[in-house]
Amino acid sequence: MNISKIMRVAAREFASTAMTKGFIIGALVLPAMMALIIPVVLLLSINAQPPADTGKIYILDRSGEVNETVSERLSPEAVEQRWQERAENAKDFAKNILGNNKATESIDQASIVIDTPVFQVIPTAPDVDIEELKEEMRLQVASGTVPADELDNLLAIIEIDADATRKANDEEGFGVYQAFFRPKLNEETIGEIEGSIRWSIREHRYLNAEIDRDEVTELSSVKARESKEITEEGERKESSGISSFVIPFASLMLLLMASMTGGQYLLTTTVEEKSNRVVEVLLSAVSPLELMTGKIIGQMGVGLSLLMVYNFVGIIALITFSMGDLISPLTVILIFIFFLLAYFMFASLMAAIGSAVNDLREAQSLMTPVMLLMMMPYIFFMPVIRAPNSMFSTIVSFIPPISPFIMIMRVASNDPPPTWQIALAILLNMIAVVLFLWIAAKVFRVGLLMFGKPPNFRTLFKWIRMA
């Protein structure tokens, strides 16, 4: 093994992959743009609400009790007030999820501009034929123009049964209501109208039954103080959704992405060198093992640079939102260690496959099982993250080559495994890496100069024994 030759191969491998426009744009610029676009899209979706609906609502109230309450409840002032309250509640909810920190300050500062709908409720006589009202709406919709006076715009027709608030008899129960809307109303408008109808009907049912509504509300509301976890160190806030799902998932994705990208490039360049017939020229200068080692190291550089960029961006993002405490330095270090272990195993498989086939198309059939293997961490994500220390999670986190992925999820979860398990996993993976590299080197040596019929797993196995 000649180290300087290996490093020379590695340098070319890295340069030919990472120093290309395609890579820089695809792997670095695009994600960076995505990261920029997401907040923009969020902002846009908050601000770019559809214009609020304005118009009249016919209430055909056969009970004769409800329409006045509905009119009050849907009056412009009442609607405005309720929408403001709801916005405040949403802020509080966001604060509760994110915790008390800078992020919530920015939420506070963000002026949520709410465009509330304006309704004019028009009660109709109980004996009006609903078909006439429907015809008016049909004509308005057909004409396709909003009436000059926007309040003349017919939004909805509500028909309320006579027995909606008082049972005609005990067997049949309460009557119902039915709403007719013009097409393409905002979801919020429909919710507001239907909600107010139900609220009003309920109001009259309480009145008729002589039940104090406030008392019912009070009785049905059960509040609790904030939940805590009691750990060895003492009490702590129950872990939030973000730390128990997002961080492990992000770690898993980072690891998968970095090791797969490097591995995929390794496959491509190996197949290319082989189909270009440049490989024998190279073999006159370096041994197959030196070539493979150099290539694996070169692509490791590619994976590492991706990992560093994404980690850096991620950590910056967490610190910006004052959530830096969600990820520990140990986790970051372990991400890098497990990346190396996962990458070496994956890269060995890719080098072996790349050397065995004649072109990328042939590689597909051999890639399928490898890809299935790489899907396993995704499939195991939920069971592992729900119970990071269950028997299942513990066992799969020791099985190479998926062990690094599972272990990093466990480490990043809010219930990290004991240190000895992490150490054991690293040890097992190191042994596996040596084994994978050894097998890959054998296939690589034989495969590189084999042209013609694409091999299957049986021939690959023969090569391993042959070399």
Which stretches of the chain bind other proteins, using CB under 8 A?
4-5, 8-9, 12, 16, 273, 276-287, 449, 451
- d(CA 120, CA 54) in angstroms, rounded, equals 8
Pick 11 or 179: Cβ nearer other proteins: 11
Q: Do 290 and 371 contact (CB within 8 A), yes or no?
A: no
User: What count of other Cβ atoms lies within 10 Å of the Cβ of residue 382?
Assistant: 10
Shortest distance in whole angstroms from residue 276 CB to other proteins: 4
Q: Do 439 and 348 contact (CB within 8 A), yes or no?
A: yes
3-state secondary structure of 388: coil
> Tokens in use for 200?
């009003």
Pick 278 or 427: Cβ nearer other proteins: 278
Shortest distance in whole angstroms from residue 14 CB to other proteins: 13
Q: Do 16 and 114 contact (CB within 8 A), yes or no?
A: no
Q: Tell me which long-range contacts 134-142 makes (C-beta under 8 A, separation of at least 24).
A: 134/180, 137/180, 137/182, 140/182, 141/182, 141/183
Pick 4 or 111: Cβ nearer other proteins: 4
Q: Do 460 and 356 contact (CB within 8 A), yes or no?
A: yes
Shortest distance in whole angstroms from residue 288 CB to other proteins: 8
Shortest distance in whole angstroms from residue 11 CB to other proteins: 9
Pick 4 or 419: Cβ nearer other proteins: 4
- d(CA 185, CA 58) in angstroms, rounded, equals 16
* Structural element, H or E, at residue 39: helix 30-47
- d(CA 150, CA 230) in angstroms, rounded, equals 59
Pick 120 or 264: Cβ nearer other proteins: 264
Shortest distance in whole angstroms from residue 274 CB to other proteins: 9
Dmax (CA) of the chain: 100
Main-chain dihedrals φ then ψ at residue 234, nearest 5 degrees: 130, -160
For residue 64, the one-letter residue type is G
Pick 157 or 282: Cβ nearer other proteins: 282
Pick 286 or 297: Cβ nearer other proteins: 286
Shortest distance in whole angstroms from residue 97 CB to other proteins: 49
Cα dist. 264→32, 140, 353, 367, 453 in Å?
21, 60, 11, 10, 22
Shortest distance in whole angstroms from residue 352 CB to other proteins: 18
Pick 136 or 280: Cβ nearer other proteins: 280
Shortest distance in whole angstroms from residue 90 CB to other proteins: 53
